[in-house]
Structures are given as structure tokens and as C-alpha cells.
Structure 1
Amino acid sequence: MYSFEENKIKLYHFVYSTYIKSLHISYLYISRLTLLKKGKNNKEISKNNALKILYGYFIC
């Protein structure tokens, strides 16, 4: 059985990582919209977003 402090640390880690991932997903969505407004095609956007996704997973 885990102690109260260990459970609290696990809960904080879960909440923090979920928050960071949701921020990252919203950032990808906003960057996709701005690239579409600039007239970029889907191939350039997917390459750009793939790099950002890899970067985001290394952070989390």
C-alpha cells in the first residue's frame, strides 16, 4: 500500500502531465490554423506538426 504522500505525488504528476499534454494539443491546433491562414498546404503542415509532436513528447 502506498502512503498518503506517495499518492499525492502521483496525483500531482498525473495532473501536471495531463495539463501539459492538453496545452500541447491546443498549441498544435492553433499552429495548424495559423499555417492554413498563411496558405501552406497540408504536406508542409503535417511535417511541421510531426516535429512539434515529437518535441512535446520529449517534454512530457
Structure 2
Amino acid sequence: MIAISYENNGKEEVVKRFGGETKMEDAVRIIKSEFPDTELLVDGNRFKWLKSGEKRLLISVC
């Protein structure tokens, strides 16, 4: 699983890589702890879109 940050200026950055045993709920919790103002935008089965300030964060199963 991987978390990628997308900014309004087009910048894309991998912010976190998770081990194979990490559950999606745990990945969301970890990202929310690193980006405290994060809110969930889209709740998919194999991906989650979150918003933190001007950044959009995608957590997806690789």
C-alpha cells in the first residue's frame, strides 16, 4: 500500500509506503496522525482520498 500526496501546482510525492500486512483502516489512521487536519473525501474499497489543507492524499493498494 502507498500514500501519495497531490498538490494544486501539480506536484506529486510519495509520502508513505506501508508493509504488506497493513490494513486500509490502519493506513488511514497513520496518515491522519501525520497530517492532523486530514478529512476523508472518498471511501473506496481499495483506495481512500483524503484532504489535508491544499493537499490531496491518495492511499491505494499497489
TM-score bracket for this pair, using the shorter chain length: 0.3 to 0.5
Which structure has greater helix proportion? 1
TM-score, normalised with respect to structure 2: 0.33
Structure with bigger gyration radius? 1
TM-score, length basis structure 1? 0.34
Higher strand share: 2
